[in-house]
């Protein structure tokens, strides 16, 4: 069966958009006069709103006639709200309000897209890695190029203009996806609460959350920390994101084989080791070259966590709940965990300084490694090839 490389159009468009928004929005907030604590709250607000928005959109996706049409609605809503950021000016209250509504749309685009693509690939018995690699490459190149565009300051408004335009591009890219509905569109109605009875899934989410908590702090504060280093600037920041995105390539090319052999638990245990090393490097140096070099470790962290968990859900969750399952992953790993990372990290950064908080991040990932590592190392791979264990009601 022919490989559906066209799905990569959506993945590329979304991750180009995310490279601009996620990588540079804190620079816009800083230019608007927001201090460390306010920036932490604004970034945390995105994650907090996702806690409530993602279960809603997951249910909508599971019941929709076309989940791609739902994604188009999400892109349009997010685009409108980015445009309203301009009218907030330096008002923290308005900026917070617009950010919250933006998050209600934006944070569900990626997990909904993953659910559509993974379901189609699973039916074809085809690999997810090459499709996700399209996002990796687009994120890498866009980060590097956009870093050069905003280098030197004074061009932060371009972040909003570009993000809005790219959201429209993402909207059109959804026409390359299967225009399929959720499994509950014409079938049995099932509740998202069923997912909480899958013991193995809950254990994996329990490991995901502390790792993603530290990633939340990184995404919220690395950009402003890096440009404050002696010799750091926006252009080099773009190169940092290029390095981190390209470092994902080896895992993506081998992800199916690694997932089948080792499973989600063992792979994320390795992620905890690499993230601990990464945060320790960032906490202990003011050298721009070393900070840039630490980005290589990104390839064993974020991408391993997100891809292995998405694959595990697609293989173990009932078809009627797959959109909800991806949303639960986003809700816990990208919502609740990142609220803590953004908000508490912002408060800690104001007290300790942005760099010192990376020591706390290293402590969190080390604790996760100690707490979960022995359990997964002694068990068979969590790769969906055995029935998911459930808990009794």
Terminal-residue alpha carbon distance, the chain:
42
User: Per residue in 312-361, pLDDT tens?
Assistant: 988 888 877 777 787 788 778 777 787 778 778 888 888 888 999 999 99
Residue 295 and residue 79 in contact, taking contact as beta carbons nearer than 8 Å: no
4-41: burial string, b at 16+ Cβ within 10 Å, e else = beebbbbbbbbbbbbbbbbbbbbbbbbbbebebebbbb
Element (H, E) at 321: none
Residue 157: CB atoms within 10 Å: 14
pLDDT of residue 320: 73
Model confidence pTM above 0.75:
no
pLDDT of residue 44: 78
DSSP sequence for 333-374: IIIIHHHIIIIIHHHHHHHH-TTTHHHHHHHHHHHHHHHHHH
pLDDT of residue 390: 55
- How does DSSP classify residue 248? T
Residue 177 and residue 366 in contact, taking contact as beta carbons nearer than 8 Å: no
pLDDT of residue 358: 95
Cα dihedral 42, 325, 337, 305 sign: negative
pLDDT of residue 330: 77
Residue 41 and residue 95 in contact, taking contact as beta carbons nearer than 8 Å: no
* Phi, psi dihedrals of residue 198, rounded to the nearest 5°: -90, 100
pLDDT of residue 255: 86
Compute and round to an integer the Cα radius of gyration of the chain.
Answer: 20
User: Per residue in 71-99, pLDDT tens?
Assistant: 999 999 999 999 898 888 889 999 999 99
Element (H, E) at 311: helix 302-316
Element (H, E) at 26: helix 7-31
pLDDT of residue 393: 44
Q: Which two tokens stand for residue 4?
A: 């559906």
* 238 alpha-carbon distance from chain centroid: 18
CA angle 277, 283, 289 (to 5 degrees): 80
Collect the ranges in the chain with pLDDT lower than 70. Answer: 1, 152-153, 182-189, 386-393
Residue 139 and residue 241 in contact, taking contact as beta carbons nearer than 8 Å: yes
Residue 355 and residue 162 in contact, taking contact as beta carbons nearer than 8 Å: no
Q: How far apart are CA 237 and CA 221, in angstroms?
A: 12
Residue 220 and residue 114 in contact, taking contact as beta carbons nearer than 8 Å: no
pLDDT of residue 389: 59
pLDDT of residue 310: 84
pLDDT of residue 74: 96
Cα dihedral 198, 275, 263, 216 sign: positive
pLDDT of residue 270: 95
* Phi, psi dihedrals of residue 264, rounded to the nearest 5°: -65, -40
Judged by DSSP in three states, 382 sits in: strand
Distance (Å) of CA 359 to CA 216, 217, 284, 355: 14, 12, 8, 8
């Amino acid at each position: 069966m022919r490989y559906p490389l066209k799905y990569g159009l959506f993945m590329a468009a979304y991750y180009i958009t995310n490279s601009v928004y996620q990588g540079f929005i804190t620079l816009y907030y800083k230019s608007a006069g927001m201090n460390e604590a306010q920036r932490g709250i604004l970034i945390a607000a995105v994650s907090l709103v996702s806690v409530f928005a993602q279960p809603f959109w997951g249910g909508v996706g599971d019941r929709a006639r076309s989940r791609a049409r739902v994604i188009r609605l999400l892109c349009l809503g997010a685009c409108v709200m980015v445009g309203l950021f301009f009218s907030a000016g330096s008002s923290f209250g308005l900026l917070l309000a617009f950010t919250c509504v933006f998050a209600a749309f934006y944070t569900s685009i990626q997990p909904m897209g993953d659910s559509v693509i993974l379901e189609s690939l699973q039916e074809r018995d085809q690999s997810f890695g090459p499709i996700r690699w399209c996002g990796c490459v687009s994120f890498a190149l866009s980060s590097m190029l956009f870093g050069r565009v905003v280098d030197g300051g004074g061009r932060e408004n371009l972040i909003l203009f570009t993000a809005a335009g790219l959201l429209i591009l993402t909207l059109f890219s959804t026409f390359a996806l299967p225009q399929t509905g959720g499994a509950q569109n014409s079938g049995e109605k099932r509740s998202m609460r069923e997912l909480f009875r899958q013991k193995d899934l809950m254990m994996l989410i329990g490991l995901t959350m502390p790792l993603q908590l530290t990633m939340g702090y990184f995404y919220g504060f690395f950009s402003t920390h890096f440009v404050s280093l002696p010799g750091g600037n926006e252009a080099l920041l773009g190169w940092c994101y290029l390095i981190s995105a390209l470092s994902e390539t080896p895992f993506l090319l081998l992800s199916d084989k690694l997932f089948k052999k080792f499973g989600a638990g063992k792979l994320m245990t390795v992620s905890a080791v690499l993230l601990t090393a990464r945060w320790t490097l960032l906490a202990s140096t003011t050298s721009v070259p070393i900070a840039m070099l630490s980005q290589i470790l990104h390839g064993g962290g974020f991408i391993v966590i997100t891809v292995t968990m998405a694959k595990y859900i697609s293989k173990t969750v009932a078809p009627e709940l797959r959109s909800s399952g991806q949303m639960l992953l986003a809700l816990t790993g990208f919502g609740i965990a990142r609220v803590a990372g953004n908000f508490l990290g912002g408060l800690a950064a104001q007290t300790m300084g942005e760099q010192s908080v990376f020591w706390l991040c290293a402590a969190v990932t080390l604790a996760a490694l100690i707490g979960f590592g022995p359990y997964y190392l002694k068990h068979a791979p969590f790769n969906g090839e055995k029935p998911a264990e459930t808990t009794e009601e």
